[in-house]
């Protein structure tokens, strides 16, 4: 009588248990999000590292103190500028020029970008004119602007507009093209006219991208501020930096650079806040 052997059921492999404890290399997983607390810690650590590096480099024996002051000396100069030299008015004038010029650039670029991104015939006509201007350095227009507009605010605002408007047109065009074609075709099928499609479908759909593009290009506008204000200017952050150059006050120049960076960061945070408040559906985290 032969014995019947029955096969044993396969043993199910249990999934590997996660390794407990903290691993330094786990922070460098590809596209792995990090928590808010860690983001704040990393930001603080980055700034502390930068300030310490700046301090030790300025204190080194091979670094001339007059040409490379440390952060403490720059902070003292910044306080002195606001307390005794009416630097606050210079800052306000610079902010005013940035706001006016960037508003003008937006009013020019947004309609053109929407038309070029919506209608290929508009892109075919305008893009050959817009694209080459993106490669022209805005400071090269300074002599012409001085002859055409003089040395007043008009010349400075025009230079700031030229520095960003061509890039804004192209980026707004790309933002408009990114709107899904199905949405446009669906609205046309339902009987919407071209004007309604443009203002009630395309504009709301692309508006988050428009705002994000404006936030990024505003940073470029701040980079042109000093160039606009060093030519025949009597006020503004750039004018203060040129006055400091005559007296070799490097700490004042660095203080001006620091203020521009902080103002740019502040405007960036304001744009991010507006984006989050206006488009809450994009932040369902």
* pLDDT per position as a tens digit, 154-207: 999 999 999 999 999 999 999 999 998 888 888 888 888 888 888 888 999 999
Q: What is the mean pLDDT of residues 93-120?
A: 95
In a domain, 78, yes or no: no
In a domain, 235, yes or no: no
Q: Which residue has the higher pLDDT, 4 or 84?
A: 84
Mean residue pLDDT of the chain comes to: 87
In a domain, 152, yes or no: yes
In a domain, 246, yes or no: no
Res 113 pLDDT > 80: yes
In a domain, 154, yes or no: yes
Radius of gyration of the chain (CA): 28
In a domain, 192, yes or no: yes
In a domain, 77, yes or no: no
Residue 229 makes CB contacts below 8 A (sequence gap 6+) with 94, 97, 156, 236, 237, 238, 239, 242
Range(s) of the domain holding residue 131: 96-230
Residue 19: the pLDDT is 46
Q: How many domains, the chain? A: 1
Q: Roughly what angle, to the nearest 10 degrees, separates helices 250-278 and 237-246?
A: 170
- Least confidently predicted of 24-33, 68-77, 106-115, 128-137: 24-33
- Least confidently predicted of 11-20, 96-105, 191-200, 238-247: 11-20
What is the C-alpha separation between 228 and 136, in angstroms, rounded? 16
Q: What's the N-to-C CA distance of the chain in angstroms? A: 69
| 22 — pLDDT class (breaks 50, 70, 90) | low
CATH number for 145: 1.10.3720.10
In a domain, 59, yes or no: no
Q: What is the mean pLDDT of residues 104-133?
A: 94
């Amino acid at each position: 009588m032969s014995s019947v052997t029955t096969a044993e059921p396969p043993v199910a492999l249990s999934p590997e248990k996660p390794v407990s404890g903290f691993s330094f290399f786990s922070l460098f997983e590809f596209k792995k999000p990090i928590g808010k607390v860690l983001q704040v810690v990393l930001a603080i650590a980055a700034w502390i590292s930068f300030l310490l590096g700046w301090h030790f480099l300025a204190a080194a024996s091979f670094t001339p103190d007059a040409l490379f002051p440390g952060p403490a000396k720059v902070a003292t100069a910044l306080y002195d500028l606001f307390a005794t030299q009416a630097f606050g008015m210079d800052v306000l004038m610079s902010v005013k020029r940035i706001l006016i010029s960037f508003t003008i650039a937006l009013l020019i670029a947004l309609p053109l970008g929407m038309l070029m991104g919506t209608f290929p015939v508009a892109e075919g006509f305008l893009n050959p004119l817009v694209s080459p201007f993106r490669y022209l350095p805005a400071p090269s227009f300074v002599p012409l602007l001085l002859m055409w507009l003089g040395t007043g605010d008009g010349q400075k605002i025009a230079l700031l507009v030229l520095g960003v408007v061509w890039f804004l047109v192209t980026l707004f065009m790309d933002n408009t093209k990114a709107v899904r074609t199905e949405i446009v075709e669906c609205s046309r099928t339902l009987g919407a006219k071209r004007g309604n499609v443009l203002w009630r479908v395309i504009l709301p759909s692309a508006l988050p991208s428009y705002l994000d593009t404006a936030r990024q290009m505003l940073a470029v506008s701040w980079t042109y501020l000093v160039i606009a204000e060093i030519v025949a200017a009597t006020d503004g952050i750039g004018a203060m930096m040129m006055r400091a150059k005559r007296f070799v006050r490097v700490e004042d120049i660095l203080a001006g650079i620091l203020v521009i960076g902080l103002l740019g960061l502040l405007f960036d945070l304001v744009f991010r806040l507006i984006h989050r408040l206006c488009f809450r559906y994009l932040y369902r985290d």
